[in-house]
Structure formats: C-alpha cells, structure tokens
Structure 1
C-alpha cells in the first residue's frame, strides 16, 4: 500500500513540475469576456442546434444499441505523469456497448497489463480490473471521468445536450485555413464526479460537424485546472447518425503534450443485448462478440 501511495504522489509531483516548467507556453482555457457582437447574427443555441442536426439529431431518440471497437496509441509522457487517468497499460484495445435511450454505456479494454471494464448507467458507475471490482477511490474517480469524456468524444453533441446548463458563443478561431465557430457549454454534472465542467465545441462552418472539443477535467483532483482537446479527423454514418472514427487528443494546459491517438476498427448496431449482458466485468450474451469488422481483443 505504501508503494502505491508513493507512486500516486510522485505522479502528482511530476505533473506539477511539468506545469511549472512549461507553464509559460501552455494555453489557458477559453472564457468569454464582454459579450462579443457577431455580424452573422448566429447565437450559441443556433450553432449548437445546427451541429446536433448535422450529427443526425439526439442519440437518445435511438431505440437500439450501438457497438464499436477501438484501438490506438498513447503518449509516453502522459502515462508517466497521469498514470491513473491515461491507464494506457489497460486501455489498449476497447469494445464499447452503448444504449443511448437509457443512458447505458459500457467498455471492456484489453491492454498489456490485463483487462479493464467500466459500466455506467445514469449515476451508477463501476470499474473492474482483471475481473475484480475496484474500490480504490482514486481509480474510480479517474475512470468515471475518462468514461464520460469518452462518451462525449465518440457520440458528440448529444452528450452535451443532456448536460448543458448554459451556452455562450466565443469568437471564431482559425485552424489549418478554416474559421471555426466556437460554442462554450457549461455541463452540470461534469465528467465523472465533477459538479461542473466546461466544453468548447469547434463547429465546421460548412458541414456543421464538430471539428474539435476542448474540455476541463474537474472530476479528479490531480487534473483539476488541466484541460485537453480532442480533434475529430474522420467521420462515418451509422443508423442515420454521423459519428467520428479517428481521434487525436492533446493536453492544452497547464502544459502542452500529445496524449492519445485512436480509431474505430469495427462497428455494428441493434444486437438487442440486455443490461445483464454488459453488467461487468466484461460482456456476455449478445454483447460478447467483437464489433463487426474487428477482431476480438
């Protein structure tokens, strides 16, 4: 136990050390100042409704299940300074099972250190490592936060719709030759156990699809004050919804570094699995086979 405590403390010290060292070049999380005026007359709500429609509408109206497989690569530095958040040795390949109509989201990961399973339904959350349910409060908080963030990354504006309590438009921002609309949303609750978090949605001016989300991470003490963004590099359609299939995540503050690159390797829908099939650890019944197009992890 002492070694584990020292390991967690060391990670926090390293994180703070990097923050001090690189703080001068790190970005700050966007905040509205005085209310800007926009010549186009588009409000935050108008832009949000536009991106929600571009993604196919509210996923909570879909009466079925969505299943996908993911694989990716983790940055080395983030695994050293935030090992409980990255959990890269467990979060290698992942199989997701999502039933949006009743807010049920489960993921089973396989990595070099073993297996990790998470189950979230509304406020209920559980996490398992190598088949054993974890009661470590830090592991649970970190996993709850990253699980909610994962749902945002993979399923987009529908997640924001059901947690946002306020939205404001920010000045547009140019990236790679495109001027993106930006909308700042306050989420209550935030990711995991956070009372609140914020997300800035970058919206493509022509397709209205999300190009990037930039989020705070208040649900776990060592990441409070940090913020990351995830950029969506490719999209595909499933069941009438347009969902991202390739992602790149970076820490933007209090330091700047690469976090994670990942991609969807398989996807299918409407299997009809039951809640018990994904209750954990791992999947059973109709939820057990790997997503179509992928090999079992």
Structure 2
C-alpha cells in the first residue's frame, strides 16, 4: 500500500468511481426536516447540554492528563480506497496522551509498516513516520482530519462544545428497539483543515450518553462528500468522566462499508507529563510508559 500524494490521488479517482457506481447503496447526510415537532419539548441545545453532563461535563475543565492505549482491526476495502486516511500500515496499536485544558493531543502508533507519531497543540500540528517528520501535505491533511475525529470519538461532546456554532434537532431514529434522539451540530472549524463540518449525535433517551456520532469529512480532498459514523459499544469512567472504550466505524455515504473496529486496552491519568515529553517522535519521560488499567504511580 503506497502512501505518496500520487497514490492518494489515484485512490481518490477510484473512490469517486465507486461513489458513482454505488451511489444507490449509500445515504445522504441527515438534515432537519421541515416543521418537525417533538413530544418531549426538548430543544437541540437542551439535549446537547444533557449529553455533555451525562459524560461528566466539559473536559476542558479538567487540569490533568488522560492516557490510553488502543488496538483494533481495519476493513480491507477502506485500506484500498482511502489508504492515506486509514493509514493502516502505521495506525495499529496506539498510545494516546491528552491534556484537555490546553488542547494538547498526542498519539503514537505501531503498525505492520512502521511507527507514526502525531502532535497537536492548539494550532501546532506535526506528524512523524518512522521517527522522521513528514512534509507531505496530503499525509498532513489526512492525519489532521483523523486526529480531530479521533478526539471526538474518544472524548465525546466536549470536542463538539468548543467547535459548534449551532445545534438543530433531527427526527428521532429507532435502532435495536431504542428510539434515539438526534442533534445536528455544525462545527467551525471542522476536522483538521476543514473550514466546516457537521456531526449528528445519537443520544440515548434514558442515559443521555452518545450512542453514535455521524460526521462529514471535508478536511481532505478525497473524502469531501463522504460521511462516516462511529458507534460506541461500551463505556467506562475515568476521573469522573464517562468515556467510550469500544468503537465501530462505518462509511455511510457515498457508499456503505465497514471501516474500523477498535477498543481501549489500557487507561490511566494524571502522570504530570510535559509538552516536551509528547512532542514527538514517540513519547518520553512521564509520558513514556504504556497506558495501564490503573492510575500510574
């Protein structure tokens, strides 16, 4: 699987060709229906505040660090049609370091083709492959988009809170015997280099936890017009926050296919690492040890 900008362009052509051939198999991104009313009387803003509270509140108010390890499996087709986005040769076993109060998010992956490190601190974004900093604009754009999406998937409505410019309520949707409430959020900026993206949050009517997020992907040319969803299959608590621990991602349009299933294998908090410890490539100092199931000493 090649990772050059050229190969990304070739697969973009294939992606578009599949979109034309399989357009009837995919779905359009949800939008509000005209004149929709809701018996529970809850507004989109009220529903968002309820789900934010159910997850433990705004993570930006937490002044410590959160650390987790992940593992998972990639679908074969997504690796072929979107190799730069999946980056499955590098995005294998993962370690994450997150300091939400100052928007510092760093990742280090080990895959069958090598290692990948990502450092995002506010507007600063850097990517390393096998210890070398990448200057490839396509790799950088794809990685910026997936890094922001990963923060949403792993840390929930707090990501939405700090980028949303508005909320709208969509018609409820039933699945597995549960009627989920749905809220559409417009994000500005969007994921990675996108000026704007949208997120549909599926909210459980009893727990107010997110069951699913359905997102657009405007931050990378070959994925513009595509949309994916990630379903949260399990949750656990850490530092008073309720965070997902098992995930399933699917492309929903312009075609439908399985993307990725992954899960948290270890988690700890409040190590006190510094930005220098996670600046990349890889982690060092207090950030260096693998995430554990219990707090680090």
Q: TM-score, normalised by structure 1?
A: 0.97
Q: Map of 1:104-119 to 2, 5 A cutoff?
A: 104-119=104-119
1:151 match? 151
1:198 match? 198
2:213 match? 213
Query: Structure 2: 5+ residue runs without aligned partners?
Result: none
1:78 and 2:78 equivalent? yes
Cα deviation for residue 7 of structure 1 reads: 2.0
Cα deviation for residue 284 of structure 1 reads: 0.5
Once the two structures are overlaid, the 10-residue window that deviates more, 29-38 or 219-228, is 29-38
C-alpha spacing 1:41/1:111, structure 2 compared with 1 (3 Å): same
1:42 match? 42
Whether the aligned pair in 1 keeps the contact of 2:147 and 2:192 (CA below 8 Å) is yes
Deviation string for 1:79-126 (max 9, x for gaps)?
000000000010000000000000000000000010000011111111
Secondary structure at 1:84 match in 2: helix
Deviation string for 1:162-183 (max 9, x for gaps)?
0000100000000111000000
1:141 match? 141
Inter-partner Cα distance in structure 2 for 1:248 and 1:159:
19
Whether the aligned pair in 1 keeps the contact of 2:33 and 2:171 (CA below 8 Å) is no
Query: Structure 1: 5+ residue runs without aligned partners?
Result: none
Inter-partner Cα distance in structure 2 for 1:171 and 1:3:
40
Whether the aligned pair in 1 keeps the contact of 2:71 and 2:262 (CA below 8 Å) is yes
Aligned residues: 293
Q: Map of 1:1-297 to 2, 5 A cutoff?
A: 4=4, 6-293=6-293
Secondary structure at 2:22 match in 1: helix
Inter-partner Cα distance in structure 1 for 2:194 and 2:9:
21
Secondary structure at 1:283 match in 2: coil
C-alpha spacing 1:6/1:158, structure 2 compared with 1 (3 Å): closer
Secondary structure at 1:152 match in 2: helix
Secondary structure at 2:248 match in 1: strand
C-alpha spacing 1:5/1:215, structure 2 compared with 1 (3 Å): closer
Deviation string for 1:42-77 (max 9, x for gaps)?
000110000000000000000100000000000000
Cα deviation for residue 22 of structure 1 reads: 1.1
Q: TM-score, normalised by structure 2?
A: 0.97
